[in-house]
Structure 1
Amino acid sequence: RRRPHAPLCRRAHRAGHSRRLSRAAAQRDRLHHGQRHAPHPGHGRVAGTGGRCPAPAGLHRARGGRTRSCRAGRSDLALHRQPGEALLECVVPWHRLDVTMPADLIEEVARVIGYEDVGMTLMTDPLPTQHRDEVVETEEKIRDILIGCGLQDTVNYALSSPENHARLLAGSAGETGPFVELANPIAVERRAMRRSLLVSVMESLQYNLRYADRLAMFEIGRVYLPENAAGPLPVEDRRLSLVLVGPRQPQSFYSTDATNEAMDFYDLKGTVETLLERLGFKPSEIEYRAAPDTASFGPRCAEIVVAGEPAGFLGEIHPQVRANFGLPAVRVNAAELRIAPLLRPAWKLDPLQPISAYPPVVEDLAFVVDESVTVRMVEAAIQAAGGTLLTDVELFDLYRGEPLAPGSKSLAFRLTYQSQEANLRDADVAKLRDRIIRRVERDTGGKLRG
């Protein structure tokens, strides 16, 4: 006499079903009746249960902690424990696919007990040595600074075309030369890896200026230079690009077209200076040099030198380049910098300076120098002579004209003296002033303006 609840696999076989259907029925039968026919628990392993009978698992009390206080009624795991044994055994039900290892059993015990009731313990093994990535940390710092300056972080295509690079006109930021081309490009305009971030900047402006009249963006990405490679792969140089286009202030109730001027070279220069100073570079380490007349920027261009190493270019895009990309007649201020000269270890960022308990002394000095003498040269001479008592040097005036001789200019600086140990007397300030004047005369040929 056949039992009323015979296994499905036996009924399928008697009905003459196919062997595949029999296997499926057998698997279903094991899933539904696995708890009833579960074998005796084994030791020390947790197996996957996908479609199979429940697997045994073992957990040592030394690892499980407070396993004795775990009530089996609050867990759907079949727990087995013998007094005095160091092993807590359980059978994993077929539907608990999350329990695959002893660590999962520990989590189950903690869940049943209550996470808030599990005491905290220290790790028995020492923590692994933490390795810092200067490139990643510096790039994240750059992103934070530029976003704080009001720029948007963008991601552009690394694929372009030699024709778009040719629109930049040869000679700027390394856009000429061989390209890394794809064997099977998906589009003609995306068949070569870019050699300059400027081409991505212009392509992005070509699209976005259709919908907005003000854009302030930056990108951190790679350029690919095959001619500098030591092997078969190209050099992947990480760079930073910035672009400012449109009115200085966003359109609002408080700004009008008459008072809201367009962003220019000095807005871009101020943004770059803010970035470098926030990265930890001193003003004396930042230098702007007259760049060669590049076709992409034209004459309104400067080379940035950071700590004696060339870092990149910034300037106003040449009108012809702007027309090549079909942009409207607006000023396009762009910069492209290499990341390598900007690397600053995170533990050197934002150094703390002691606050003096003594008041500062502020005075102004103006020097008449030759037109060829730069502000950085005069600042370097002032700082070298001032030493630790000179805490700040700021240029606040530049004058050319009568009564100065032709080919000369006047540079006025505001100097701040402060000591960490005592109040500065008039005699102390006078010695510092004389030393600074002599150093400026010796290094730059400048004279104190009377």
Structure 2
Amino acid sequence: MIITIDGPAGSGKSTVAREVAKRLGMRYLDTGALYRTVTLLALEAGLVPDRIPEAATLAAAADIRLEEREHDLSRVFIGEREVSEEIRGPLVSQHVSVVSADPGVRSVLTERQRREASRGDLVLEGRDAGTVVVPDADLKVFLTASIEERARRRQLQLRAQGLELPLDRLVEDIARRDTYDSSRAVAPLRKADDAVEIDTTGMTISEVVQAVCRLAEERRAVPKSAASPGKWPLSRLVRSPCDTFLWRFAYSFLPPLWRLVFRMKIKGREHFPLSGPVLLASNHRSNLDPFFLGVASPRQIHFMAKAELWKIGLLGRAIEALGAFPVNRGEADRSAVRRALELLDAGAVVGLFPEGHRQRDGGLGTINPGVSLFALREGVTTIPVVIQGSERIMRGKRVRLPRVSVTFGAALDLPRTDLPRAERAQVVAQSLTEAYLTLLGEEGRR
């Protein structure tokens, strides 16, 4: 079970998360300590405020170790050096928001948190744990409290460390941090749509912990078959929002047939999320590529297809019944963009070919920058996938039956940045190209 506890500074996330983990016999990850430790390293290296992007290198190289304590915050070590008190001092608190907002730092630490979550039975707290780090967590909690209450708690925490700061200054600091955290472009503080909000003002720690544990027990009581994505009868397709009957029907007999005829080899299927919004970005070599992807995928894919197909007799109506939607290539098609975003927001899978046109020679084309509109959308998992062999099916007028392989890659860790649109699109294009080349292996290096 994975439980995320998000909320603004001083809402009690760390204390509550630690106690919940202890009561439920789960592991606890103090994500705030990770960001504070990197902030301390950045301050000591003189990277704040002018060279913060370099902090990502420090984050990747640092040997950060957390040790849980029975009734206190985690002990934090950098190598053998303990920094538990230093990272919770006023200097680090003053700068942790701006360091945490750096895309590189966020990318490194988000990946670390996801690795911990993949081991299961974890309680993690933060500001984007339930929206970005683990959007498919079993239970998401969002803690709030009045700003005066949060300032008072912070004052008591500092006092325990031998520091005394006036309450009005702490109120100002927290208000400033709230504004920054909720308005930043990278993983802003916000409540996940499916999170349970708890206002902890006037509540004791024990009362809040009890409320969260009660929610967790309720979720645990749900049968696994009801909690995990089900499958459609007959086709065994994993249920997903916006599924269409025609796709489910075709999925009941096409996959074994196509796998047999084309001796299909499917790799990396474990990377495909069984729930939540997914952007499937594939290379494009043949008109049959959507069929190969559909056969290889455990969920229905809603393809963004060229509008010209809707002009060929009943073809347009047929592929629309299969969940596809038209896009006018060569122009900013707002209708297609809107439809794609609607599907993603509903938790469906959207498939597109970022190259825009088939690469019949088996090479890689230029990535269309428009893919960044979807890849950078919060909560969306972008999965790169490559198809090999489909370009050899049609050679002139001759039809062949070559072996076709479909390889899914790991989800792209794309930065949610405040860069200009053109630069942001370039980052996405570069990330996709690198993923394609890696998945293509020897063929990609030729």
Normalization by structure 1: what TM-score? Answer: 0.18
Bigger strand share: 1
* Structure with the higher helix share, 1 or 2: 2
* Bigger CA radius of gyration: 1
**Structure with the larger RCO, 1 or 2 (CA within 8 Å, 6+ apart):** 2
TM-score normalised per structure 2: 0.18
